[in-house]
Amino acid sequence: MTEKIVRAHTNIALIKYWGKRDEALILPASSSLSLTLDAFYTDTSVTFDNSLQSDTFYLNDRLQNKTATEKVSTFLNLFRKPAGISSPALIKSTNFVPTAAGLASSASGMAALAGAANLACHLQLTQRELSLYARRGSGSATRSIYGGFVEWQMGTCAADSYAVPIDDADWDIGMLVVVVNSRKKEMSSREGMKNTVETSPFYTGWLDSTANDLIEIKKAIRLQDFQKMGEITESNGMKMHGTMLGANPPLSYWEPDSVVAMQLVRQLRQEGISCYFTMDAGPNVKVLCRLTDSEKIKARFAKQFNPEQLIIAKPGEGLKVLTK
């Protein structure tokens, strides 16, 4: 029997999703917009097998513990139910992303799992439906169904909070990922955003301004105005981190080397190289740049970081099926 593997790429938000209006349904408090990257992805297969006692989950060839397996099982149940399937599943996933390093492995992981579950259950879901399903696994996964620039529309309810592709990013766009630390982060984005929504006095200001940032960045993308897009990206990311600093207890994912990377980006700009940074719920810094400038920028970073900490990514594609 041929094994069907689904590949999903990670995405980095230029307009961040930070905070939910419904925890259980993963409905965001605001819309967000991301760039899907080719360099980081997850390959997943799901096979139903009645000879298994229960769901069995391998990540990077390692059998996973009860907690990790339960998370996958709960997600799979969303697909098993409409398909009328009750069999246990063998789930095999390979992450080509440093797991939980703020490089959104949950985005590619849950999007690939949604795609593989769809195939195993023969549900023939559309991309939009897959985006709705992926959302239930992890908010950022909603966007990883599509390639290029993608908007996750907050919607009005669980049925219309999905992603839509905005632009295939087939222009001079790249991203240098600076892996400051690839260890698992101490506070998950789920906990971090909950704490921020509940306690940060800056949160309402964030919501007001991020809505406008989204409108403006969509205009910049339409016009292929790289500088404008970069300025909005950098400002939006910093505002998200500002809300965390205002939380109680205060939260920061930054490490000293994160600041070193941010300063280098500012320095490069002063020298006339157009590049902008953004950070997620982790210490790693992502530098949005022209693809044609990316090697030059990487070379400058290589003076302060090891080569294995520096990864150039191009815009990536949406969900796809591979056959082994």
Interface with ligand PMV, residue 203, by CB under 6 A: no
- Do the beta carbons of residue 267 and residue 91 sit within 8 Å? no
Q: Which CB atom, from 107 or from 310, has the smaller least distance to ligand PMV?
A: 107
Interface with ligand PMV, residue 108, by CB under 6 A: no
Give me the DSSP letters along 15-67. Answer: E----EEETTTTEESS-EEEEEEEEEEEEEEEEE-TTSSS-EEEETTEE--HH
Alpha helix (H) residue ranges in 156-306: 189-199, 203-222, 226-245, 256-270, 294-301
List the one residue from 5, 6, 104, 120 that touches ligand PMV (CB under 6 A): 104
Q: Which CB atom, from 139 or from 318, has the smaller least distance to ligand PMV?
A: 139
Q: How far is the CB of 53 from ligand PMV (least distance, A)?
A: 30
Q: CA dihedral in degrees (217, 220, 224, 229; nearest 10)?
A: -50
- The 8-class DSSP code of residue 3 comes to P
182 phi and psi angles, rounded to 5 deg: -105, 10
Q: How far is the CB of 213 from ligand PMV (least distance, A)?
A: 12
Of 134-142, 202-210, 218-226, 303-311, the window that binds ligand PMV (rule: CB under 6 A) is 134-142
Q: How far is the CB of 163 from ligand PMV (least distance, A)?
A: 11
**Per-residue binder mask for ligand PMV (CB under 6 A), 16-55, x = binder:** xxx-------------x-----------------------
The amino acid at residue 169 is A
Residue 165, SS3 per DSSP: strand
Of 49-57, 60-68, 133-141, 222-230, the window that binds ligand PMV (rule: CB under 6 A) is 133-141
Tokens of 205: 């200001």
Measured CA to CA, the distance from residue 206 to residue 23 in angstroms comes to 19
Of residues 269-288, those binding ligand PMV (CB under 6 A): 280-281
Tokens of 199: 């306690």
Interface with ligand PMV, residue 138, by CB under 6 A: yes
Interface with ligand PMV, residue 175, by CB under 6 A: no
Q: How far is the CB of 68 from ligand PMV (least distance, A)?
A: 15
Interface with ligand PMV, residue 140, by CB under 6 A: yes
Of 137-145, 170-178, 208-216, 265-273, the window that binds ligand PMV (rule: CB under 6 A) is 137-145
Beta bridge partners of 316: none
Residues of this chain that interact with ligand PMV (CB under 6 A) are: 13, 16-18, 32, 104, 106-107, 138-140, 189-190, 280-281
